[in-house]
């Protein structure tokens, strides 16, 4: 085995924190009693090399990994989770900590480390000397620390991508999350094995993809993934967007426009006040919830997915139409979401954004002329209510990504004003109305008009609600008169 290298001096504090973790103290004693070799590996060692503490722990054990994990869970009163009996992997969950155990996949540690994905993840720290004597035996047989310090993602062996094609996406994810650059060897290996990516299970892609898109600036990485041919392996549907011409509002084909929309969206999310003024805080608050920023980026990337199949040329040879492309795009994205095991909430959010992304643009000319009715504005706000901040952020990105000659120079300014009008409607009309009793209810329809419950109930009550929002009625009697008129 390669001799341990000396740790960087600034690791002392972080190492002391590791020594103070009770789970590791108990584990070291259990391993020593059983004469087992246990090593901290993977992310925890990589993050130590970056001067950071990793919340979860990856551990490699020379033998009896499952039994050791079960003993630790029993000793701590934690939960033992068998991950893969054939691969000899398990997890112990205790007080919010995850300790992942894996048995050596080779006769010795060095060979086991070589089976990992990248040099930056092929470093190890021997646990027992660390916990018992404070000795930090930093094992780095493949130059991971040097690559980490140089900002490189270096594949250990090209065939490792064949063993697990997900590692190709992980290479780009590490580049994005850690500010690293893929080496020529890593890039060449991705180009060689990229077609095998389709073997990867959807739920695994989902997890890595969300990590990647969670970075503030994903666009440069997406461009690199496309250049390497990996983006099209993950999303074959995007290949259909390439070369699809658009009308005079655009200067790029559908694919390049969609990619640029992601770039513009990320810039908006970083500085929303530059486009929305004081309402920028609403955009920020929305993007911080759950995975909303990630879902917004997906909506930007796929918002025009339906255009290739709906493209029609008009009399003017340079003009095209894409009627109802948003509906087809939502259907096509639903298939992608099913394939990648999106949750129902994730699917609903992106589909709603895609379905509605044209609505602001269809209403904007009427708004500019001062002729937009409260009814039309209210219908937009209610339809987009759960994603309203995201919809306007997406619309702004869509507008910025289209710089054709027919596009008005002040389009973004008017779009910001439209957003302000929508929020004024929301805060001054819709929300106050929701906090006061309805003017009439279903019981009133039964008692006053002798109606029986059914679809007509909803239609009548919605008509009353719309009239109230528009300020046309404000009393119970006016509501009853409206129903009488509608009947």
Tell me what the mean pLDDT of segment 148-171 comes to.
96
Domain check: are 376 and 263 in the same one?
A: yes
CATH code, domain carrying 208: 1.10.110.30
Is the residue at 277 inside a domain? Answer: yes
- SS3 assignment, position 252: coil
pLDDT digits (tens, 9 = 90+) for 52-61: 887 789 999 9
Identify the pLDDT of residue 2.
53
Residue 4 maps to a domain: no
Residues 25 and 129 in one domain: yes
Q: Is residue 48 part of a domain?
A: yes
- pLDDT band for 182, please (50, 70, 90 cuts): very high
3-state secondary structure of 404: coil
Q: Which of 128, 150, 172 is the last residue of a domain?
A: 150
280 and 381 assigned to the same domain: yes
Q: What number of residues does the chain have?
A: 487
Judgement on whether residues 172 and 125 belong to the same structural domain of the protein: no
* Mean pLDDT calculated for residue range 185-211: 97
- Same domain for 199 and 116, yes or no, is no
Domain that holds residue 250: 242-428
Taking a C-beta distance cutoff of 8 angstroms, is the pair 357, 299 a contact?
yes
CA pair distance 391, 296, nearest whole angstrom: 8
Q: pLDDT, tens digit, for every residue of 6-27?
A: 555 566 777 888 888 999 999 9
Phi, psi of 290 (to 5 degrees): 50, -125
Residue 83, in any domain of the structure = yes
The three-state secondary structure class of 191 is helix
Looking at the DSSP bridge assignments, the partners of residue 424 are none
Total domains in the fold of the chain: 4
Which residues on neighbouring strands pair with residue 26, listed in sequence order?
Answer: none
436 part of a folded domain:
no
What backbone phi and psi angles, to 5 degrees, belong to 155? -70, 140
SS3 content of the chain, % helix, strand, coil (to 5): 60, 10, 30
Four-CA torsion 391, 392, 396, 399, nearest 10 degrees: 60
Residue 475 burial by CB count (10 A; 0-12/13-18/19+): exposed, middle or buried?
exposed
Residues 269 and 417 in one domain: yes
| Judgement on whether residues 297 and 264 belong to the same structural domain of the protein | yes
Whether 221 and 338 map to the same domain: the answer is no
Indicate the pTM of the whole model. Answer: 0.89
Q: What is the dihedral of CA 201, 206, 212, 213, to 10 degrees?
A: 150
Local confidence band at 456 (pLDDT 50, 70, 90 cut-offs): confident
- The pLDDT of 74-100, averaged and rounded, is 95
Last residue of a domain, one of 150, 179, 214: 150
Task: Mark whether 368 and 396 lie in a shared domain.
Answer: yes
Is residue 141 located within the same domain as residue 199?
no
For residue 114, is pLDDT > 80? yes
Share of the chain above pLDDT 70, in %: 97
- Report CA 241 to chain centroid distance, whole Å: 21
Q: What is the CATH number of the domain that holds 51?
A: 3.30.460.10
Task: Report pLDDT for 436.
Answer: 80
3-state secondary structure of 290: coil
């Amino acid at each position: 085995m390669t001799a341990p290298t000396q740790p960087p001096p600034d690791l002392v504090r972080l190492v002391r924190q590791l020594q103070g973790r009770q789970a590791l103290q108990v584990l070291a004693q259990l391993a020593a009693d059983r004469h087992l070799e246990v090593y901290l590996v993977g992310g925890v060692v990589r993050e130590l090399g970056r001067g950071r503490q990793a919340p979860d722990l990856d551990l490699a054990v020379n033998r009896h990994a499952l039994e050791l994990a079960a003993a630790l869970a029993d000793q701590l009163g934690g939960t033992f989770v068998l991950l893969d009996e054939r691969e000899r992997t398990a997890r112990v969950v205790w007080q919010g900590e995850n300790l992942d155990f894996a048995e050596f996949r080779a006769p010795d540690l060095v060979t086991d480390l070589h089976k990992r994905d990248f040099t930056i993840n092929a470093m190890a720290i021997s646990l027992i000397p660390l916990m018992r004597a404070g000795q930090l035996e930093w094992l780095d047989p493949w130059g991971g620390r040097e690559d980490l310090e140089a900002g490189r993602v270096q594949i250990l062996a090209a065939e490792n991508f064949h063993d697990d094609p997900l590692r190709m996406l992980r290479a780009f994810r590490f580049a994005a999350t850690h500010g690293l650059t893929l080496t020529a060897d890593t890039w060449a290996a991705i180009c060689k094995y990229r077609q095998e990516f389709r073997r990867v299970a959807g739920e695994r892609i989902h997890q890595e993809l969300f990590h990647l898109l969670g970075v503030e600036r994903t666009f440069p990485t997406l461009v690199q993934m496309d250049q390497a041919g990996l983006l099209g392996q993950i999303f074959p549907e995007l290949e259909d967007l390439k070369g699809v011409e658009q009308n005079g509002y655009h200067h790029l084909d559908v694919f390049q426009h969609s990619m640029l929309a992601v770039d513009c969206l990320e810039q908006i999310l970083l500085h929303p006040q530059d486009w929305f003024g004081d309402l920028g805080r609403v955009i920020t608050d929305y993007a911080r919830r759950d995975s909303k920023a990630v879902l917004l980026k997906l909506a930007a990337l796929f918002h025009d997915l339906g255009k290739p199949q709906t493209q029609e040329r008009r009399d003017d040879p340079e003009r095209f139409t894409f009627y109802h492309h948003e509906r087809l795009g939502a259907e096509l994205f639903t298939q992608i979401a099913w394939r990648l095991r999106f949750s129902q909430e994730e699917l609903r959010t992106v589909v709603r954004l895609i379905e509605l992304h044209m609505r602001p643009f269809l209403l904007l000319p009427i708004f500019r002329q001062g002729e937009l009715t409260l009814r039309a504005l209210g219908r937009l706000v209610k339809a987009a209510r759960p994603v309203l901040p995201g919809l306007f952020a997406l619309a702004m990105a869509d507008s910025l990504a289209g710089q054709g000659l027919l596009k008005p120079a002040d389009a973004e300014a008017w779009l910001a004003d439209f957003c302000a009008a929508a929020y004024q409607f929301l805060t001054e009309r819709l929300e106050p109305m929701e906090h006061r009793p309805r003017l009439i209810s279903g019981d009133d329809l039964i008692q006053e008009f002798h109606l029986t419950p059914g679809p007509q109930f909803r239609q009548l009550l919605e008509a009353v609600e719309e009239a109230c929002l528009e300020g046309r009625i404000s009393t119970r009697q006016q509501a009853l008169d409206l129903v009488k008129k509608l009947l």
